[in-house]
Structure 1
Amino acid sequence: MWKTRVVAVMLGAASFMAQTHAEAQQRPAQQSVQWQLQVVSDGQQIDAFDGTTTVGQARTDTHHHVVTHNVGCKDAPGGSIDLLRTLTVSPLQASATEVTLTIEAQETIEEPGARETDTGCKLPPQPRRVAASHPGLTVPDGQWVTWTIVDKNPTLVYRVKASLATQP
């Protein structure tokens, strides 16, 4: 009697494994997107990000760039600012012709212009926090698309390129 039960359990397990294997083969592979993002300030590229991310997933990267300015009446180094930039990129959809990305950005930038005390001594630039979100940036396959984050003082533009990642 117990042999009959063991055989039944083994047949059930074999059937389950075959069904699971067949379903796995029928499911399409997860699509991945290769993307590049260039940060351009006043016409000059100042940073770049890239990655390969699965559709429906997100990737977050943070870059630091510490800047030290000469300050005071003796022009001494000081007034360091961490120009922190954090981007989260998430592909929403991807096809052979276009990719749609969600992009979340948080930046610390410097206010332009030299500042001085009443007596003419230099002050460091003031940091400014910028946050931007694009819920669905559509990028034609392999082409650059621009997204303006700040339109002046300074201009800040993201250039984005994306395409389906080639499957091995």
Structure 2
Amino acid sequence: MPTPQPYAQPAPAPVPAPPPSAQPAPAPTPQPYAQPAEQRAVNWTLQVIRNGQLIDSFDGTTTVGQAHTDTHHKVVSHDVGCKDQPAGSIDLQRTITVSPLRANPTESILAIDAQETLEDGAAPTTAEGCKLPPQPRQVHASHPGLVVPAGQWVSWPIINKDPALAYRVRATLAPPSQQP
């Protein structure tokens, strides 16, 4: 009886190399994110108007697509009680974020987010007639795209009464010397 021989597999046929024109192209070298040909910056001013009076103002120069946040503080204290003694202080804080979305020489479009701590206009009293401090309250307002014609003021009402609160906004395309 013959000795079994292992099964021999045929050698694979040689594969000819593709011609140079059929070689895959080398992978492209990663490039950093392309910057727009021209990034524009916007000069803006936001005024806070309470009951018809200017009470605060913010301004800046911000590149389109970026955000600028600023916080202002105003600490107030009130005389309270029946003897009008100074009481604890309240920090009336206002934080504004302005983000230019688009800008050209004729108009700017700004996204604005605002958070404020306000005092009620009337100070409460106890049953005996003694003063209590006004109560603070939080206000949050957001505008997804306020259209501001170049150099003109645009009013954005936040609260209609008790107190009436509005923002006035002006914006223009920054001159070339202020562009990034």
Same fold (TM over 0.5): yes
User: What's the offset of the Cα at 1:81?
Assistant: 1.2
**Structure 2 counterpart SS, 1:148:** strand
User: What's the offset of the Cα at 1:69?
Assistant: 0.6
Does residue 78 of the first structure (1) align with residue 93 of the second (2)? no
Structure 1 residue ranges (4+ consecutive) displaced by more than 2 angstroms after TM superposition: none
Q: Which residue of 2 aligns with 1:149?
A: 158
Distance 2:118 2:124 in 1: 16
AA matched with 1:91: P
Distance 1:150 1:156 in 2: 5
Q: Which residue of 2 aligns with 1:140?
A: 149
Give the alignment's TM-score, normalised by structure 1. Answer: 0.83
Distance 1:147 1:79 in 2: 33
AA matched with 1:105: A
Aligned pairs, how many? 146
Distance 1:82 1:114 in 2: 17
Q: Which residue of 1 aligns with 2:110?
A: 101
AA matched with 2:173: L
Higher percent of residues as helix: 1
Q: Which residue of 2 aligns with 1:129?
A: 138
**Structure 2 counterpart SS, 1:153:** coil
Alpha-carbon displacement from aligned partner over 1:104-152 (angstroms, at most 9, x marks no partner): 0000001111210111110000001000000000000000000001111
% same residue: 62
Does residue 68 of the first structure (1) align with residue 73 of the second (2)? no
Q: Which residue of 2 aligns with 1:47?
A: 56
AA matched with 2:164: T
Q: Is the 8 A contact 1:33 1:164 kept in 2?
A: yes
Does residue 118 of the first structure (1) align with residue 160 of the second (2)? no
Give the alignment's TM-score, normalised by structure 2. Answer: 0.78
Q: Which residue of 1 aligns with 2:167?
A: 158
RMSD: 1.6
**Rg larger for:** 2
Q: Is the 8 A contact 1:108 1:127 kept in 2?
A: yes
Distance 1:79 1:149 in 2: 28
